[in-house]
Amino acid sequence: MLRSTAGARQVSRNSGFARSSAAAIAAAFALSAAPADAQVSDVADATVLGWSLSNLRIGLRFAPDYMGSDDYRLRPSGSINISRRGRQPTFGAPDDGVSLGLFGGQDWSAGLSGRWRSGRDDDGDLKGFAKIDGTVEAGAFVNYWPKDWLRLRGEARHGFGGHGAWVTDLGADFIWREAPLVVSVGPRLSWGEDKFIRTYFSVDPADAARSPFGITPYAPDGAAWTAGLVVSAERRVSRHWSVAAVGQYRRLLGDAADSPIVADLGSPDQFSATLGVRYTLGR
């Protein structure tokens, strides 16, 4: 019964991908063509209590509707890095989220980090499921540069609202610079404690009874793990502005991948594509 509608959903998903991808490309190039360098530079160069904007990314992201979904949607995305005035910006990965640098040396930096994790509605494949609110995740990060072409990063954050759990992200970025291009590629590994996996991947008896797809209750055990890869390419178009394209792949592992939400209604393979612009201070 679950798989009988897969063909129809696949056709709808593919046509939606084409329309949304075209919209994302048009929007990203419209943003990059805007002559805003002088206007935004005056604002971003301003110092507030010794702090200033180092990196700002704004774009459109085509990604799964929710973790484990095989339906995709277009939504805004962005990241921001704030550091002490006078510290030269180096590299910011497209999935860094919000970073506030507090400490640092020649080959390392550390500070506060934050992210917004979207909630989940009770429609589509999850009709009848309880809604999940969005989550503000706040914590800390550490960056380490063993080489000028290699950055290692770790984050630990706690969720407020939504899942209310601890999560960690580990990553490495291999960076190639050849003006006006910057290309990076690197692996990712994410972990979420048991409260996290229960929030997003469990199916309680009430959910199963309300679902029109005949799924069975499911109680995951342990933590949630995902592994993946991020690829980014930027082309600088002015002193401060770059046009960027990002591709990302994540694979849900273990009990998260075995959940009926993923195995029967979605997919453990999670792809995303982002087009946008990046502002970098001090280049």
Domains, the chain, ranges and CATH?
3-280 (2.40.230)
- Summarize the confidence of residues 70-75 as an average pLDDT: 96
Q: So what's the pLDDT on residue 249? A: 99
How many other C-beta atoms lie within 10 A of the C-beta of residue 185? 15
Q: What DSSP designation does 106 have?
A: S
3-state secondary structure of 89: coil
- Given pLDDT bands bounded at 50, 70 and 90, which one contains residue 9? very low
Q: Is 282 left (phi over 0), alpha (psi -120 to 50) or beta?
A: left
- The Cα 191–Cα 196 span in angstroms is 9
**86 and 271 Cβ atoms separated by less than 8 Å:** no
Q: What's the confidence (pLDDT) of residue 81?
A: 84
Could you give the percent of the chain with pLDDT greater than 70? 78
Q: Which of 4-18, 40-54, 109-123 has the lowest mean pLDDT?
A: 4-18
DSSP state of 125: G
Alpha helices by DSSP H, the chain: 6-33, 37-44, 194-201, 205-210, 254-258, 260-263
What the block records as the tokens of 38 is: 């002088």
Nearest to 266 by CA among 125, 98, 91: 125
88 pLDDT band (50/70/90 cuts)? low
pLDDT at res. 50: 59
